[in-house]
């Protein structure tokens, strides 16, 4: 039972760790599904939409993470 609790805790932490990323991916998937259904797009076009959308979300998340300060500044060395 402990193993199951650990797995559930890890999965929850993985999806809730970056809520903005999770919401963006869900919106890309929902948008692609909506376009496929509404416009009767072929499945290959839907796959292309998912690929481009998910890559865009990933690139934006990496750029946002790179701009964020990573922690306290190291002390300056006096000479």
> Residue 48 sits in which domain range?
18-67
Judge whether 7 lies within some domain: no
Residue with the larger pLDDT of the pair 51 and 79: 51
Question: What dihedral do alpha carbons 25, 27, 28, 29 form, nearest 10°?
Answer: 90
What distance in Å separates the CA atoms of residue 50 and residue 29, rounded to the nearest whole number? 7
What distance in Å separates the CA atoms of residue 62 and residue 46, rounded to the nearest whole number? 24
| Mean pLDDT value of segment 22-44 | 91
Contact 61, 23 (CB under 8 A): no
Q: State the total domains in the chain.
A: 1
Judge whether 6 lies within some domain: no
Judge whether 74 lies within some domain: no
Judge whether 54 lies within some domain: yes
| The overall pTM is greater than 0.85 | no
């Amino acid at each position: 039972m402990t193993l199951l609790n650990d797995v559930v805790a890890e999965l929850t932490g993985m999806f809730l760790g970056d809520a903005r990323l999770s919401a963006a991916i869900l919106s890309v998937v929902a948008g692609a599904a909506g376009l496929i259904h509404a416009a009767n797009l072929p499945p290959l076009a839907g796959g292309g939409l998912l690929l481009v959308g998910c890559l865009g979300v990933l690139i934006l998340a990496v750029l946002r993470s790179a701009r964020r300060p990573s922690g306290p500044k190291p002390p300056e060395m006096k000479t």
